[in-house]
Every structure is written in structure tokens, then in C-alpha cells.
Structure 1
Amino acid sequence: MKPLEHTITEEQHRVRIDKVLADLNKDMSRSQVQTWITQQLVLVNGEVVKANYKCQLGDHIEWSIPKAEPLQLAPEAIELDIIYEDSDLLVVNKPKGMVVHPSAGHQHGTLVHALLYHCEDLSGINGIERPGIVHRIDKDTSGLLVVAKNDQAHQHLSKQLANKDIKRKYHAMVHGNIPHEKGLIDAPIGRDPKDRQRMAVVENGKPAVTHFQVIEQFSDYTLIECQLETGRTHQIRVHMKYIEYPLVGDPKYGPRKTIDVNGQALHAKEIAFTHPTTKEWMHFEVDLPDYFQELIDYIRKMY
């Protein structure tokens, strides 16, 4: 396929290349364009550039749109707790222990495998291994996710996510007794320079903001509600560790001595967004899962 071409205009001068290409390819998301740039499918004046390259007047842009690969994942008949569904999207209550999409070491039993069995169509924007996935929650975090059935819905929801218009609230049980009713953590998150398998608050990280409010206090633990402004990897887990109130059960960021609940005590309890087609404000909330309620009952009794 012959590459597409464009010459940068005065209006596009000093605009990032990923934004220019997203504007020129209306049916593609900016994240998809960034993938093309990473794959060296975009050239500026014959040279490979990074996504943050600021275009100059007269720059000659060439780019190739890769062919969509046929989906190779096999649907799996896994039961789903679907809270809402229409022709554009689903809201799913993911159980603790389920991985959202396939990755190294998780080639079966993921939410994506279950969705492929349940749905005839899912958006393809995030590629073969992440159809329909607008945002993720960790394997051992339970709770609500919105899934897109088509690219238009996906783009609309992704834009809301980027603009901080999707509201997400989580409940978490943390170590320690937080002495105040609420707080705000504004600390950038990036790869931990000492351990590439972990995230950490680092000076050159991406902006990350978490609001939290105390629900119930115990002598050695606190039940809190967290609301995310941003959606960085492991954000709540990293931020609560940073202020020295790590999550109960967290094997990666928690203390060695913790209550074993097979992973962090974190539940995505609420999600709200504007419907991509009807423009209606949609709000969904689910109860705490059994393991979490049993943990609260145990701590109330013991602490």
C-alpha cells in the first residue's frame, strides 16, 4: 500500500506529530497513531521521529496504516457479571483474580476471552489482544470496567478518559489509621528505577492525582474511598504506599506482614460517564465482593 503524504501548514506549525496525524485520520485514536510512530510507520522529511516531535512549517509527512490483522484469540465460555449492555458498550463487574487482556503468562481465561464469547463485535482500536478494552484494572482488583463494542464508542470513551470526564471510585483497605477525613495525593508516577517490575513516585513520572476519603477507621487499618483523576498503572497502590498507608494484601507494594486476601484489597465500586451515542450521563455502582466484606467484618471484630 502506497504511503499517505501531507505537508505541514502554518496552522500545524509547532503542533505535535501525533496530534496532527490523529486530526488527519479522523477514524483513528491518538494512541493508535502513537503506535504507528513507535512502529516507525511515520516519517518526517524521510526520518523517524518520536510522538512528541513538534512539526515545522513545510515538513513532509509520510505514513502507512498497517493492515488490520485477523483476531487469533479463541473465545472462551467464561461467565461474566454484566451490569449493563447496549449496542455500543458493556459495563462489566470483573472478579478478583481475572486478568483483563492476554499477556505473557496469561494466554487464557482473561476478560477479553470471555468478551469474545459473549459479543459478536468489539472495537479494534487497541489491537488484536485488547479488543474493546478502554481502560484496565489489575488482576487482583475487582470491580467495574466499561468495554467498547465499536471504534466510535471507543474513541468517545477514550476522549472522556483523557479529559478526566469519566468518574471512577474505588474502595480500599489500607494499613494504618489515617488521622484525617480526606486527602489529595498529587505525585508523578513512573517505572521504579530500582525495580522495573514496579511503579513508583518519581520526579520525571507522568502526572497522577488521587483523592481519598476515610469511610471507617480501625486501630491498625482504615477503609477508604479513592477517586481517580488520572489512570496510571497501579496508581492507588503506589500513591497509598507513598504516603505510608499501603493496601492490605498487596504483594508488590504492601508490607510483608499483612492480611492474606490473595492480592490487594481494592474494588472499583463506581463508574460514571457520558454515553457515546445518547449523550446520557450513565452511573453504575456495585456492592463490595464477598472477600472484601469478610475482610471488613474480620477487622471490625479483631481491631
Structure 2
Amino acid sequence: MSDVAARQTRSLPVPEGFEGQRIDQVVSRLLGLSRTVAAELVAAGDVTLDGEPCATKSVRVSAGSWLEVVLPPPPEDVRARTEEPVAGLDVVHDDDDIVVVAKPVGVAAHPSPGWTGPTVTGGLAAAGYRISSHGPDERQGIVHRLDVGTSGLMVVAKSERAYSELKRAFKERRVSKRYRAVAQGHPDPLSGTVDAPIGRHPRHDYKWAVVADGKPSVTHYDTIEVFPGASLMDLGLETGRTHQIRVHFSALGHPLAGDLTYGADPVLAERLGLTRQWLHAYHLEFVHPGTGRTVTFTSDYPDDLATALARLRADQ
């Protein structure tokens, strides 16, 4: 791979939850890359563990080892290159102003440097949807985002009016976003509010954390079902910080099931068949920018989360 000087390098320790996993899996999950790209980086010598290049993609990692990855260069025409169909991207609603989708796990909201996987914007373009031209080139029409590893509802602006009004509505916190999550253990109290600032983790640049100088972050939660060793939560956000729910529940000592990055039990994750955090954006409500009426959308749990929940219920 050429032009290494123009590429970004990520350096981080291997979390405990990744002990014994293959290097291509670890790179893929930690950095949000596809397995194919991760394997290509290993083959090109762009992945090192404790300063030594990984010989093959099947190298097994040890917790605490220092991982360095030279990321691929930003694509010259990232939008055009990612206009490809996205399996599992369901259109929940479509009109002249907006399109609402249920985003599957493993799909980014929009293209970004280092990400070569599927995107919501690319999937919509490939399906023939015309979205707003407002916003940065790689994020046109995007008024809010979901993490790659989180599934659920997103609204994308199609008209210029919708883009402006929805961006303002999200900024002014006039959009109701609700999530369901499975947290390890039983939070005490069973309902409450986490008001704790979030910023970059002081030691690990791939994570976020509750820190004194972070941005204000508020999460409201209710426990709606209890299992041995876990709880199904209903969550509402006042703010939309990166990894907010994951960070807040990790700080409470109740990381989301399957969320190995933030301290989840890998044994429980394996038993439930989880390869990502149990977190789903199931409810979205806002004033329609075209009609002025309140609209509400909901999304069912995807198969992997539904299966994990069924296994928890079977253990009772």
C-alpha cells in the first residue's frame, strides 16, 4: 500500500474480552472495518502486535498486547464508491421529505475514512432514493447517526427543508429517540437517570468514558424485565454522545450484554450468541418537516437480539 505518510495510524491495547481471538476479527471489531479489509491490512504488514508485524490473519491475540493499525487512505470519491445495495436495510417510511430506515448491525450511517463497509447513504442511493444535498459531501441528508454496531431506526432527509428542520429539531432535543438494551445485572434503582459527562477515554483512544471535563450526557432508563443476571431496559436520551448508553451503563457497573469493549462478560455473550452489544433503537418520534404533524415509527428486534432475549427468558 502506497502513500503511508498520508494514512492514519490507530494505536491501542487489546481489551481483555478479545483474549484468544484472531487478529483480523479484533481489527474488524475494534476499528469498524470489514473482515476483508482487516485481512488485507494484515497481509500488507499494516498490523503489528507489540511492535511485530502479524504474519497471518489467523494470529491469536493476548489481552494487553499493543495493537497498531495503519488505516487505508480515504477514498477519492467515497460517496460514489459506496453506492451499493445493503442487505437488511429496511425502508419503514418514505415520502417527499424523509425516508425512515431500520439500519442493520454492521452498517455505518455514512462513509468515513477507514470504513469500507456498507452505509445507509450508499444503500439508499443504490436503491434509487434521492436524498438531500445539504451537509458535507459524505454525510448529505444525514441528520443523526447510529453506531455501526447498533441496529435500529434512522431518519434521513430527502428535501432541503427536511434537512434544516430536522437538524434543528435534533439540536434542540425535540426528537424522541428510545432504545432497548440488555444490561448485565440489575441496576439499583430499577429506574433512574444517569447524568454524567462523557469524553475521550484518558488511556484508550478507541473508547469513550465518563470524565470530569467531558460533554454533558443524560440517559433515562427503566427496567422492564428482569432475568437471572441481566435486565431488559427501556432508555431515553436527552443527549446523543458517541457510545453514550454503552459508556453510562459500563460506568454503573452494568455493561450491555455482548459489549466486550466496555467490560461485558464474554462467557455470557457466547452463551447468548451475541457478537455485538444488545442495543436497538426501536422508537423514533418527531414533528414531520412537511406536514407539521407528529409522526412515530417503531422497529422490531433483529434476529440476533431476539434470539439472545429468548435464551434469557428460557433461563428463568
- TM norm structure 1: 0.73
* 2:304 is aligned with 1:291: yes
* 2:91 is aligned with 1:78: no
Letter in 1 for 2:312: I
Q: Decide which of 249, 252, 261 is 2:261's aligned counterpart.
A: 252
Q: Decide which of 204, 207, 219 is 2:213's aligned counterpart.
A: 204
C-alpha distance in structure 2 between counterparts of 1:251 and 1:125, whole Å = 36
C-alpha distance in structure 2 between counterparts of 1:249 and 1:124, whole Å = 37
Q: Decide which of 175, 194, 201 is 1:166's aligned counterpart.
A: 175
Deviations 1:158-192 (A, max 9, x none): 11111110000000001112243311011111111
Letter in 1 for 2:269: I
Q: Decide which of 285, 289, 301 is 1:276's aligned counterpart.
A: 289
Structure 1 residues 149, 73: CA separation in 2 closer, same or farther (over 3 Å shift)?
farther
Aligned pairs for 1:3-152 (under 5 A) are 72-79=80-87, 80-152=89-161
Letter in 2 for 1:299: L
Question: 1:256: Cα distance to partner?
Answer: 4.5
Partner of 1:177: 186
Structure 1 residues 301, 247: CA separation in 2 closer, same or farther (over 3 Å shift)?
same
Question: 1:105: Cα distance to partner?
Answer: 3.3
1:70 touches 1:128 (CA, 8 Å); kept in 2? no
Partner of 1:267: 280
C-alpha distance in structure 2 between counterparts of 1:146 and 1:299, whole Å = 31
Deviations 1:132-180 (A, max 9, x none): 1111111121110000112321110011111110000000001112243
Structure 1 residues 300, 168: CA separation in 2 closer, same or farther (over 3 Å shift)?
same
C-alpha distance in structure 2 between counterparts of 1:108 and 1:286, whole Å = 23
SS of the residue corresponding to residue 244 of structure 1 reads coil
Structure 1 residues 178, 70: CA separation in 2 closer, same or farther (over 3 Å shift)?
closer
SS of the residue corresponding to residue 196 of structure 1 reads coil
C-alpha distance in structure 2 between counterparts of 1:207 and 1:295, whole Å = 32
Partner of 1:18: none
* 2:250 is aligned with 1:237: no
C-alpha distance in structure 2 between counterparts of 1:220 and 1:256, whole Å = 11
Choose between structure 1 and 2: higher helix proportion. 2
Question: 1:252: Cα distance to partner?
Answer: 1.4
Structure 1 residues 259, 121: CA separation in 2 closer, same or farther (over 3 Å shift)?
same
Q: Decide which of 148, 159, 166 is 1:157's aligned counterpart.
A: 166
C-alpha distance in structure 1 between counterparts of 2:90 and 2:219, whole Å = 27
Question: 1:125: Cα distance to partner?
Answer: 3.0
Letter in 2 for 1:259: A
Structure 1 residues 251, 104: CA separation in 2 closer, same or farther (over 3 Å shift)?
farther
C-alpha distance in structure 2 between counterparts of 1:81 and 1:270, whole Å = 15
SS of the residue corresponding to residue 259 of structure 1 reads helix
- Residue identity over aligned pairs, in percent, reads 38
Letter in 1 for 2:230: Y
Question: 1:299: Cα distance to partner?
Answer: 1.1
1:168 touches 1:268 (CA, 8 Å); kept in 2? yes
1:72 touches 1:128 (CA, 8 Å); kept in 2? no
The answer for unaligned runs of 5 or more in structure 1 is 1-68
C-alpha distance in structure 1 between counterparts of 2:143 and 2:176, whole Å = 14
Question: 1:108: Cα distance to partner?
Answer: 3.9
Question: 1:128: Cα distance to partner?
Answer: 1.6
Letter in 1 for 2:123: A
2:83 touches 2:122 (CA, 8 Å); kept in 1? yes
C-alpha distance in structure 1 between counterparts of 2:177 and 2:278, whole Å = 16
Question: 1:204: Cα distance to partner?
Answer: 1.1
SS of the residue corresponding to residue 234 of structure 2 reads strand
Structure 1 residues 157, 301: CA separation in 2 closer, same or farther (over 3 Å shift)?
same
1:169 touches 1:225 (CA, 8 Å); kept in 2? yes
1:83 touches 1:93 (CA, 8 Å); kept in 2? yes
Partner of 1:193: 202
Letter in 2 for 1:154: Y
Deviations 1:71-118 (A, max 9, x none): 544521234301101011111001122222222332242212101122
C-alpha distance in structure 2 between counterparts of 1:150 and 1:298, whole Å = 43
SS of the residue corresponding to residue 129 of structure 1 reads helix
C-alpha distance in structure 2 between counterparts of 1:190 and 1:215, whole Å = 29
Letter in 2 for 1:85: D
Q: CA RMSD in A?
A: 1.8
